[in-house]
Amino acid sequence: MKQMDTEKLLMIPGPTMVPSRVLNTMALPIIGHRTSDFGDLTGDTVDMMKKVFQTENDTYIITGSGTAVMDMAISNTLDKGDKVINITNGNFGERFYKISSVYKADTIKYEPEWGDLADPKKLRELLEENEGIKAVTVVHNETSTGAKNPIEDLGNVVKDFDAIYIVDTISSLGGDYVNVDKFNIDICVTGSQKCIAAPPGLAAITVGEKAWDVVSKTETKSFYLDLNAYKKSWDAKKETPYTPSVSLTYAMNEALEMVLEEGLENRFKRHDLLARATRAGLEAMGLELFAKERARSVTVTSAKYPEGIDDKKFRGLLAEKYNIRVAGGQSHLAGKIFRVGHMGSAKEYQVLGTLAAIELAFKELGYNAEGGVAAAKKVLSN
């Protein structure tokens, strides 16, 4: 195997750093996925996943990325020609739109400005103006912009209509407040490698009663991602219909246990504190944050580059000289912003170290950045 540099601190919007306690579980022996031992492991994992989702809805663990469960949510609910409103104020909202288009849905885009949030009043207008909407999709936390949507307020709108409410919490669950049942979410999806701080490769989906009614009347368009197959297999034997990743299930189980040991409220407070410290640090350097104040994420912060700073040189310097990785912009934001993730198992000293490295890198590239660490420390000490 080619030697890889595994010492870099990942301050990107996922995958995040995975605690050793979680990584070590992946060295446990492989067990048969049709055995009672694995059934117990999966059952325990699902029970904890439901607690993190804060739901009583049916919940399944899928071997696949977050995109797999986004695809699962759409392919099991939308037939050709079905009307769907896709809220697209970021790259991953666009992904829901692209998936809907693949399945030939009649897509209606609601396009708030990137970096801003969706307006519940505008969503209500769209639902009233367009009869027969079958689903509304939204991304809670847009890692592409560092902004988040008001999913509770949006859910309170959708519940007044026949449409089902599909929410991506891939980069928020376990880091920001999500309550599937309280927020009237019919289908909620998440991934393993963000705020939950497990390795990439697993995802989870919850399905409520209103959504099951839609699924039962929709033509199945996927073999591997057939929700009916997952329900049948789980209800009968607490099994997945196809071979799951045993090692990743060990890791997800341990990661969820760590989430619940810390406590959801404590975890939300930690993420919020790290976000405020990061924002304060970047603004003290004279940087303009990209996301609007009312929409700012607590799991990732985006900032505009000062004039004359080259994205590749800046991020390359951080990675090669300071062993820290941050992310660049996506789509039309490429080269214009950078994004700092502070989610999962992120610690205060990691945020401070990242801000210090950002100051040094900017200075080396000709931009006099200073005061970031001091500003962040002030937030952390209050």
pLDDT tens-digit map of 185-197: 999 999 999 999 9
pLDDT per position as a tens digit, 326-365: 999 999 999 999 999 999 999 999 999 999 999 999 999 9
Do the strands 147-148 and 300-304 form a parallel or antiparallel pair, or are they unpaired? unpaired
- Collapsing DSSP to helix, strand or coil, 303 comes out as strand
Q: Is 371 left (phi over 0), alpha (psi -120 to 50) or beta?
A: left
Average pLDDT for 26-38: 97
Per residue in 168-227, pLDDT (tens digit) is 999 999 999 999 999 999 999 999 999 999 999 999 999 999 999 999 999 989 999 999
**What tokens were used for 122?**
């505008």
The pTM score is 0.97
Q: Give the pLDDT confidence score for residue 382 in this predicted structure.
A: 86
Instruction: Give the H or E element holding residue 60.
Output: strand 58-63
- The answer to whether residues 342 and 274 touch, using CB atoms and an 8 Å cutoff, is yes
Q: What are the Cα distances from residue 329, in Å, to 12, 49, 98, 118, 361?
A: 11, 31, 20, 21, 18
Cβ(103)–Cβ(80) below 8 Å? yes
Averaged pLDDT of the chain: 97
Q: What is the pLDDT of residues 99-140, one digit of tens each?
A: 999 999 999 999 999 999 999 999 999 999 999 999 999 999
The 10s digit of each residue's pLDDT in 221-280 is 999 999 999 999 999 999 999 999 999 999 999 999 999 999 999 999 999 999 999 999
Each residue's pLDDT tens digit, 7-22:
899 999 999 999 999 9
Which domains occur in the chain, in start order? 9-13+263-381 (3.90.1150.10), 21-261 (3.40.640.10)
Question: What percent of the chain is modeled with pLDDT above 90?
Answer: 98
- Report pLDDT for 2: 61
Q: How confident is the model at residue 6 (pLDDT cuts 50, 70, 90)?
A: low
Rounded to an integer, what distance in angstroms lies between the CA atom of residue 52 and that of residue 66?
16
Q: According to the model, what pLDDT value does residue 3 have?
A: 56
Distance CA 19, CA 300 (A): 19
Q: Cα–Cα distance between 136 and 127 in angstroms, integer? A: 9
pLDDT at 220: 87
Answer yes or no: are the C-beta atoms of 165 and 186 closer than 8 Å.
yes
